């Protein structure tokens, strides 16, 4: 009887050891695919001079600077869903677009759970391109 209990306790203990790792893997939203900067084609966006140049790629910059929170599954999208409705939660495909001056204000000053982003994190040239991209009505 006692031996059976000890065996059962050992079995439970060893189960317990392997479970936390499995549970951690299952928890939370799936990770966002983010290739390293070096893997991207085109302008060298790690070069600070090119980050200040006009004519940045708004789509790429939005995905790069804002995507971790504002693509599907991001915490920005999740916070916005109950506030503005699921059809408006993804900024890049919000019907009618997002007004450019509103984007500029929110990014520099922050809003609720979103921190304001400095000119080091997002340069003015990058933000101009992002705001123009988000202002487009991209339904479809």
Interface residue list for ligand HEC (CB under 6 A): 65-66, 68-70, 75-76, 79-80, 83-84, 91, 98, 102-103, 106-107, 111-114, 117, 122, 130
Least distance to ligand HEC, CB of residue 41, Å: 21
Nearer to ligand HEC, 47 or 121 (CB): 121
Q: Are 65 and 122 in contact (CB under 8 A)?
A: yes
Contacts within 8 Å (CB) and 24+ apart, 25-29: 29/73
Q: Which of 30, 59, 25, 24 is nearest to 42 (CA)?
A: 59
Nearer to ligand HEC, 50 or 105 (CB): 105
H-state helical runs in the chain: 2-26, 48-52, 58-65, 67-70, 75-84, 86-89, 100-109, 124-135
Nearer to ligand HEC, 11 or 72 (CB): 72
Nearer to ligand HEC, 12 or 86 (CB): 86
Least distance to ligand HEC, CB of residue 12, Å: 41
- Report which residue's Cβ sits closest to ligand HEC: 112
């Amino acid at each position: 009887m006692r031996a059976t209990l000890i065996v059962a306790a050992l079995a439970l203990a060893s189960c317990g050891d392997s479970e936390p790792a499995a549970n951690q893997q299952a928890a939370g939203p799936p990770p966002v695919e983010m290739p390293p900067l070096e893997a991207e084609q085109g302008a060298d966006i790690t070069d600070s001079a090119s980050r200040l140049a006009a004519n940045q790629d708004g789509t790429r910059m939005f995905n790069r600077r804002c995507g971790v929170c504002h693509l599907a599954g991001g915490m920005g999208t999740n916070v916005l869903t109950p506030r503005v409705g699921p059809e408006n939660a993804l900024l890049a495909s919000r019907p009618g677009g997002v007004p450019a001056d509103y984007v500029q204000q929110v990014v520099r000053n922050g809003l609720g759970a979103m921190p304001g982003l400095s000119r080091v994190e997002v340069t003015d040239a990058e933000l101009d391109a992002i705001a123009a991209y988000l202002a487009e009505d991209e339904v479809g």
